[in-house]
Structure 1
């Protein structure tokens, strides 16, 4: 019935015309993509895609470079908070306590909170998602705030776990939902399915309330439950290009092993100057400047291996451009090839890349991770007595208000960019606070540091103020030297 309905629709479409992309003629009759929802596709292929993406990041230089470039631009030295508490003294105490806690944030003890941000950016790029679990600690553990974060890879939440509970809840791809579609729990495996060094029981799961879990994901479809690797549209081309490069390298290596070939009309007669190697083959060791006497009729032919040809580099370049577009990383950042880039197109690519990075920082890193961690951290700090804030529960929304400052962008042309920013501030097009925030600094903290520096200079009798040379006008003609 369904097949006949689809055939009827195709015949109607061919008769009516309209969108060529919806026709089923000769050119598109074999283009029949799946109509399954993305959740179905991820359930079927997600594990293989993630495994292949991880393999590429371990074995392919372009993939590894793309990951480092992405994480470095998204996180850098860290996306840092600036509390919006109006009380300056209280804000300073909160910021100092946060700085102390960042060194204790990782439950594994490998890095600080900003290192966890970088690892999270890498994981979401590779696997499409990553999980963090809030771990409460005891007072005797000696932490500044008794809370840590445990990173959980995507493989720990089984894609195949789908169940219907008698109470009305449903588990889809390891995530438990209530009757109105809210996430209430995650059913994690106790051990990684691919880690054979863990003696735990394979397949055993544990139910963790959703309030204790952060699920970081950059969804591409409405209703999407689990993440998909950013490498998905680039895996095939990266893998085949890697094989092609290996084949070319092996061909050149084999060709370079044979310098000369000697032909003789009488193979049975011994060749006086030849020696036998360990495998019994007759070889001739050549030395610089040596003269070798040959028997009558013997000839020497040089090895002339075929070159890779003029199409090798253009082919690689076009393929890497497609990989770059699929990953959303500029070609120069993917390949480290700066020869094909000039100032203008590098700046255009950088501006476009920064727009994507800023959108990702806001929608994924800050909204899903940083804000959740900051709110939980403030709650626990107050409950544990690390912070004394009057009427915290009543004014919680105002007390946890915070702005997050991403790492500053380095300027391509510092002089021109600084001049443009100064002119924007003087013209009232932007504030110093906005300019400092774009550089990753808190305006109040910068002003306090400037005031402290000036006070210290006055107390010590120091002066670092010299004559300031104004910026030359852009249209001013160059001065001619006096004759």
Structure 2
């Protein structure tokens, strides 16, 4: 008798599965056996992975940034260590032949500072430093940031203003394949045949308004800031994605332990009916058979019942260790020092803190350079072109390419052990193993600014009669009058002899 089709298919499937389980490849990570059957890995493009999850990831990252103390702490650390209290400085390094063009450099820095220290946004609210703090946090939280460059803006003398566009307005559901000369659209980004962005399709309003429409912004007017994780990735993914689940679980666990501890600190218990009680059931009593766990209050036990205390043991003894382990995992996902993220300096030695701080600073420097590459360099190019065009920056030439040699100087850090590291810096400079410029740059300082400030200090100290170290300058001794040159003794002798001869002759 021939077996039914479903039984034959089931038998074939089980046979194939047994054969597949028995295979052992060269790499253990590619093996398929009973211990790895729940390890599901798919081979998809970067955009296919992002497309379905980007909106939910973005929404959850924003919620964690609002309500989770540790995620909010990371965003603050990021902004503080990348942007810093004084922002990213601009240092012009234009040369005229084999000499620095001091006049052009001073003019560029003065014009840039005039623009950056005034409101640079189209709504006139934020200076460049505050706008960069917002943009960097947006890149970390949303995974990407969109900034429109308004060239020819009439609100300032430089003709350039900035507008941040919410990532929700770039519709990730808007996709179109390439047909003939028609460009492909991936998640709201229009790209050409070689994958270069041509423009962005933007909703004119946020939300689910059925009347809203998309409009097109050319790529030349938009800066799209994100850090791709894979090749050919069109949209950015939040930096919080790898710590979302542990951060959410930890937040819920801490809340549960806090509630349990509060209840445990209050009186609470159960009403238990005595076996010999003749009282009626509490269900027939119109009053609810419940009690509130309020500290300092006492309930009247119903007739025929006795109170049985319930004392939950919370927080448990494992609470601190569990919290610390979860925070270590979250800190690793953010690539920051656990003790800094958790504000926990318990049991940390100086050498351990120093070694971790040095590693962490390298990560911050890497993010600083990424931010400069994807944001500051194109921003400076856009500003320079408009400043030369409007005349707010007056130079000998209006060719922007002559003045692109600038250095964006991010913040630095003070030495962990100033005395030891200052001595090491002095020895390195004396032995030709380093320069003052390099050591000052590590602290976020410019050698020209330092030398100029030293010169001003010396001039001021001299004006007040002090040395550069605060000691009084020795008073200058009055110059002694030089005695008149005495006459030649031979001449005096001749004069005396002449006087004697005159007297004899007389």
Structure 1 residue 58, shift from structure 2 partner: 0.7
Q: Does 1:169 align with 2:183?
A: yes
User: What is the alpha-carbon distance in structure 2 between the residues aligned to residue 228 and residue 287 of structure 1?
Assistant: 51
Structure 1 residue 252, shift from structure 2 partner: 2.0
Q: Does 1:155 align with 2:144?
A: no
Unaligned runs of 5+ in 1: 195-199, 270-277, 289-293, 468-483
Give the corresponding residue for 2:126: 111
Structure 1 residue 327, shift from structure 2 partner: 1.7
What is the SS of the residue equivalent to 1:332? helix
Q: Does 1:404 align with 2:414?
A: no
Give the corresponding residue for 2:58: 50
Give the corresponding residue for 1:470: none
Structure 1 residue 89, shift from structure 2 partner: 2.2
Mapped contact 1:81–1:402 kept (Cα < 8 A): yes
Give the corresponding residue for 1:23: 31
User: What is the alpha-carbon distance in structure 2 between the residues aligned to residue 404 and residue 217 of structure 1?
Assistant: 19
Mapped contact 1:100–1:144 kept (Cα < 8 A): no
Alpha-carbon distance change, 258 to 18 in structure 1, aligned in 2, over 3 angstroms: same
Which residue of the other structure, out of 447, 451, 454, is the alignment partner of 1:447?
451
Mapped contact 1:83–1:401 kept (Cα < 8 A): yes
Give the corresponding residue for 1:478: none
User: What is the alpha-carbon distance in structure 2 between the residues aligned to residue 284 and residue 207 of structure 1?
Assistant: 60
Query: Which protein shows a greater Rg?
Result: 2
Give the corresponding residue for 2:492: none
User: What is the alpha-carbon distance in structure 1 between the residues aligned to residue 217 and residue 64 of structure 2?
Assistant: 32
Mapped contact 2:21–2:34 kept (Cα < 8 A): no
What is the SS of the residue equivalent to 2:137? helix
Mapped contact 1:65–1:333 kept (Cα < 8 A): no
Alpha-carbon distance change, 445 to 165 in structure 1, aligned in 2, over 3 angstroms: farther
User: What is the alpha-carbon distance in structure 1 between the residues aligned to residue 62 and residue 71 of structure 2?
Assistant: 9
Unaligned runs of 5+ in 2: 1-11, 95-99, 280-286, 472-506
Q: TM-score, normalised by structure 2?
A: 0.79
1:319-468 aligned within 5 A: 319-363=326-370, 365-393=371-399, 396-465=400-469
What is the SS of the residue equivalent to 1:358? helix
User: What is the alpha-carbon distance in structure 2 between the residues aligned to residue 371 and residue 401 of structure 1?
Assistant: 10
Q: TM-score, normalised by structure 1?
A: 0.82
Aligned length: 445
Mapped contact 2:122–2:162 kept (Cα < 8 A): yes
Q: Does 1:71 align with 2:75?
A: no
Alpha-carbon distance change, 227 to 11 in structure 1, aligned in 2, over 3 angstroms: farther
Structure 1 residue 55, shift from structure 2 partner: 0.5
Structure 1 residue 65, shift from structure 2 partner: 0.7
CA RMSD of aligned residues (A): 3.5
Alpha-carbon distance change, 216 to 9 in structure 1, aligned in 2, over 3 angstroms: farther
Structure 1 residue 279, shift from structure 2 partner: 7.3
User: What is the alpha-carbon distance in structure 2 between the residues aligned to residue 354 and residue 122 of structure 1?
Assistant: 18
Give the corresponding residue for 2:493: none
Alpha-carbon distance change, 449 to 144 in structure 1, aligned in 2, over 3 angstroms: farther
Give the corresponding residue for 2:249: 240
